[in-house]
Amino acid sequence: MIKLKSLFIPHHGNLHKPHLTRWSMLSVFGLVIIGMQLAFNIAVSGHPGVLGYATSIDAGSLNSLSNAQRTANGLPALAYNQTLA
């Protein structure tokens, strides 16, 4: 119980600064979080993302597909502008 008190509660025994909020422990927490993030990224990196499936769509076909959905919803078609593309 005394150990938990020195970790969480400021008192005279820990110089009124809990051990979990000192720079050394905060740096350990930061390193643990960075390590967990790196491990997660390495574990997931083998799986393709959402954009990996849609790399063959060019601007013209995207415009025509968007216009098809717009006309199906009763909206006017959008014009394709080469300057903005």
| Domain segments of the chain as ranges | 2-44, 49-85
- Write down the pLDDT at residue 47: 65
- Write down the pLDDT at residue 49: 60
- What's the token pair of residue 77? 């078609």
Higher pLDDT, 2 or 25: 25
Residues 12-19, mean pLDDT to the nearest whole number: 79
Residue with tokens 């110089």: 15
Instruction: Decide: helix, strand or coil at residue 40.
Output: helix
